Amino acid sequence: SQTIHQWPATLVQPVGSPLSLECTVEGTSNPNLYWYRQAAGRGLQLLFYSVGIGQISSEVPQNLSASRPQDRQFILSSKKLLLSDSGFYLCAWSGGLRAQPQHFGDGTRLSIL
Amino acid sequence: AQKITQTQPGMFVQEKEAVTLDCTYDTSDPSYGLFWYKQPSSGEMIFLIYQGSYDQQNATEGRYSLNFQKARKSANLVISASQLGDSAMYFCAIPDNTDKLIFGTGTRLQVFP
């Protein structure tokens, strides 16, 4: 069966520090991959999605970037974190067909001090 | 463009009772589907149920069922025999024309004894 791993679960970082969040999927090949951010008490905002290695689409202008160095690995990065980057970050994968759901990791709570 | 609306920011239900969570949508796609997700306080997004627009019968998954009314453009989630563990945020979602999910703002359900 397919599983998705996302780490770390919690992260506290100072303003201006770099960021790297990692997400890996097991049990499937060539998944679509997604990074979302969720502010407290709010809905999900899609940040990036990828349909293949090296293929990244950005949904909103921001201080973050994403990379997909391997088929089942998706990385969210920043060179210098801002206070506004605080939030709950979720990684997800899907099989790419419209009737297939996205399956989410457990999320990372990022606090910027 | 697709749009999802969840008008109930919060709902209360007594244990063992049924509850309906509302979701309305707007789409110009002739073929589409609706997803429902549950997000407990721990943060992970759990896929609950899906129904395609051409499905003849309302989808059911255990205690979850979809009351899908295409003419009204609504896809309400019905949870029967509520349990304390059902307390969570619930999101409905619809794919856009590039198959990315558009999420509603969510409904917080609280089940009380």
Note the pLDDT tens digit of each residue in A8-63: 999 999 999 999 999 999 999 999 999 999 988 788 999 999 999 999 999 887 78
The CA-based angle B109-B110-B113, given to 5 degrees, is 145
The whole-number pLDDT of residue A41 equals 78
Q: Which residues of chain A are within 8 Å of residue B95 when distances are taken between CB atoms?
A: 98
pLDDT at B46: 96
How confident is the model at residue A61, as a pLDDT? 72
Q: What confidence score (pLDDT) does residue A97 get? A: 79
pLDDT at position B21 is: 98
Residue-level pLDDT at B2: 83
Q: What is the pLDDT of residue B97?
A: 78
- The whole-number pLDDT of residue B19 equals 98
Instruction: Report residue A52: phi and psi, to 5°.
Output: -175, 170
> Is B78 in the A-facing interface, judged by CB distances under 8 Å?
no
Question: Residue B29: its pLDDT value, please?
Answer: 85
pLDDT of B28: 86
* Interface list for chain A against chain B, based on CB atoms closer than 8 Å: 32, 34, 42-44, 46, 49, 59, 88, 90, 92, 96-99, 101-107, 109
DSSP string, chain A: --EEEEE-SEEEE-TT--EEEEEEEES-SS-EEEEEEE-TTS-EEEEEEEEETTEEEESS--S-EEEEEETTEEEEEESS--GGG-EEEEEEEE-SSTTSPPEE---EEEEE-
User: Which of A72, A78, A22 is CA-nearest to residue A50?
Assistant: A72
Q: Return the percentage of chain A with pLDDT > 90, whole number.
A: 83
Mutation pick from B36, B45, B64, B105 vs chain A, by most beta carbons of A within 10 Å, is B45
> Rounded to whole angstroms, how far apart are CA atoms A52 and A86?
28
End-to-end CA distance of chain A: 39
Residue found by looking up tokens 């999802």 in the block: B4
Tokens matching residue B17 = 């009772």
pLDDT of residue B57: 92
Task: Please give the pLDDT value at position B93.
Answer: 95
State how far the alpha carbon of A11 is from the alpha carbons of A62, B76, B78, in Å.
Answer: 19, 36, 36
pLDDT at A14: 97
- Evaluate the omega torsion of the peptide bond into residue A61 and state whether it is cis, within 30 degrees of 0: no
pLDDT at A91: 97
Successive 10-residue mean pLDDT values, chain B, 113 residues: 91 98 92 94 94 91 95 96 98 87 95 96
User: Which residue reads 């990036």 in tokens?
Assistant: A48
In the predicted structure, residue A98 carries a pLDDT above the cut 80: no
> Scanning the structure block, which residue is given the tokens 């899908």?
B68
Nearest alpha-carbon partner for B45 in A23, A30, A93: A93
